Amino acid sequence: MKERILKNWTLTRALFLVLGTIIIIQSILSQQWFGILFGSYFASMGLFSFGCAAGNCYGGSCAVETKKSSETQK
């Protein structure tokens, strides 16, 4: 978990974290409590690198192998 938070920072992750934090602060100031949940989701995506902020599946577990067709094997 520590490695996931501290490594592989991209611009996308930073933007998710910053924008999520801004949404949380703005929601608190305007007393829109549902916005805190919305902002927390985006901030946690940036902080913990899951969802869209990860860019690709973390750890490469979602890699799809290409199959060779029968025509290319001849």
d(CA 7, CA 51): 16
d(CA 13, CA 6): 11
User: φ, ψ for residue 36 (rounded to 5)?
Assistant: -65, -40
What is the pLDDT, as a whole number, of residue 51? 75
What is the pLDDT, as a whole number, of residue 47? 86
- Given a cut of 50, the residues of the chain with pLDDT beneath it are 57
Q: What is the pTM of this model?
A: 0.65
